[in-house]
């Protein structure tokens, strides 16, 4: 009977030892599994942080590019203005060469060019009509088209005049707006509107043309 009890006790001890070993093995597996999870979570957080930094850098670059857009537009606009003014200068030089190649007339033989006079009156009439239309007209493209035609007529009549350059500046400004009620100077919010500026300029241009009878700057 004692032997049987000893055998049962030994079995229990062996079972406990076996169970302890399995528990240690299981604990080791759990510990390793936990470490793997922590490591992977750390790697994931690192990648997320790296991606977040890259997104922030991309956002900053995008803002920098957007901030450069007005400057680029100004450069392009200034380049277009310069090209237009250069074209006007070339035309003036060509016209001056043509005039200088013609024989000079004696002062008592200068005749009034009736065609030029008619041209001047037509230009003044068109300017007055435009001034009246500005009271109800608000389409920059319509005004632009009219001004370009008037500029061509003035160039034909005068052979080149500062009025042509002033009209060109207004036309370039009209290319950038959708209304005549905006400021003529886009960098100065306190400047007069395009409509008011045109009204004043038209009066000035008419007065300048009134004292001109033929070609000559």
Is the predicted pLDDT of residue 5 greater than 70, yes or no?
A: no
Highest mean pLDDT range out of 15-19, 69-73, 149-153?
149-153
**Cα-flanking dihedrals φ and ψ of residue 135, to 5°?**
-65, -30
Same domain, 27 and 74: yes
Same domain, 128 and 54: no
CB 194 within 8 A of CB 177: yes
Same domain, 119 and 97: no
Q: Higher model confidence: residue 20 or residue 96? A: 20
CB 209 within 8 A of CB 153: no
What is the rounded distance in angstroms from the CA atom of residue 215 to the CA atom of residue 165? Answer: 16
Same domain, 217 and 120: yes
DSSP state at residue 107: G
Q: What is the largest CA-CA distance in the chain?
A: 161
Does residue 6 sit within a domain? yes
Is the predicted pLDDT of residue 110 greater than 50, yes or no?
A: no
Average pLDDT over residues 114-128: 82
Alpha helices in the chain (DSSP H): 2-101, 114-133, 140-158, 162-174, 194-210
What is the per-residue burial (b if ≥16 Cβ within 10 Å, else e) of 77-86? eeeeeeeeee
DSSP state at residue 193: B
Same domain, 81 and 124: no
Does residue 191 sit within a domain? yes
- Give the tens place of pLDDT for each residue, 126-166: 999 988 988 888 888 998 999 999 888 888 887 777 888 88
- Quote the mean pLDDT of the chain: 76
- Give the tens place of pLDDT for each residue, 30-55: 777 777 777 777 777 777 777 787 77
DSSP state at residue 109: G
Q: What is the pLDDT of residue 42?
A: 74
3-state secondary structure (DSSP) of residue 44: helix
Does residue 107 sit within a domain? no
Closest CA to 120 of 216, 217, 209: 209
| Burial class of residue 54, CB neighbours in 10 A (0-12, 13-18, 19+) | exposed
For residue 214, what are the domain limits? 114-217
Is the predicted pLDDT of residue 216 greater than 60, yes or no?
A: no
Q: What is the pLDDT of residue 156?
A: 82
Please state the domain count of the chain. Answer: 2
Q: Give percent of the chain above pLDDT 70.
A: 72
What is the rounded distance in angstroms from the CA atom of residue 73 to the CA atom of residue 189? Answer: 18
pTM above 0.85, yes or no: no
Same domain, 118 and 214: yes
Angle at 112 between CA 106 and CA 118, to 5 degrees: 155
In order, the DSSP letters of 68-80 are HHHHHHHHHHHHH
Q: Higher model confidence: residue 192 or residue 46? A: 192
Q: Dihedral (C-alpha) 151, 113, 100, 102: value to the nearest 10 degrees?
A: 140
């Amino acid at each position: 009977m004692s032997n049987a009890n000893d055998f049962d006790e030994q079995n229990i001890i062996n079972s406990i030892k076996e169970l302890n070993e399995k528990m240690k093995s299981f604990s080791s597996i759990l510990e390793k599994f936990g470490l793997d999870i922590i490591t992977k979570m750390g790697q994931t957080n690192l990648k997320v942080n790296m991606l977040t930094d890259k997104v922030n850098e991309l956002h900053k670059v995008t803002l920098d590019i957007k901030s450069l857009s007005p400057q680029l537009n100004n450069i392009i606009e200034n380049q277009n203005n310069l090209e237009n003014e250069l074209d006007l200068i070339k035309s003036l030089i060509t016209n001056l060469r043509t005039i200088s190649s013609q024989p000079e007339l004696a002062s008592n033989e200068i005749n009034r060019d009736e065609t030029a006079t008619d041209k001047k009156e037509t230009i003044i009439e068109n300017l007055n009509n435009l001034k009246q239309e500005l009271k109800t007209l608000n389409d920059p493209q319509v005004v632009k088209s009219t001004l370009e035609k008037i500029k061509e007529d003035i160039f034909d009549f005068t052979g080149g005049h500062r009025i042509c350059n002033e009209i060109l500046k207004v036309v370039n400004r009209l290319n950038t707006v959708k209304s005549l009620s905006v400021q003529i100077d886009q960098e100065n919010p306190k400047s007069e509107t395009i409509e008011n500026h045109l009204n004043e300029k038209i009066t000035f241009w008419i007065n300048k043309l009134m004292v001109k009878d033929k070609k000559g700057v």
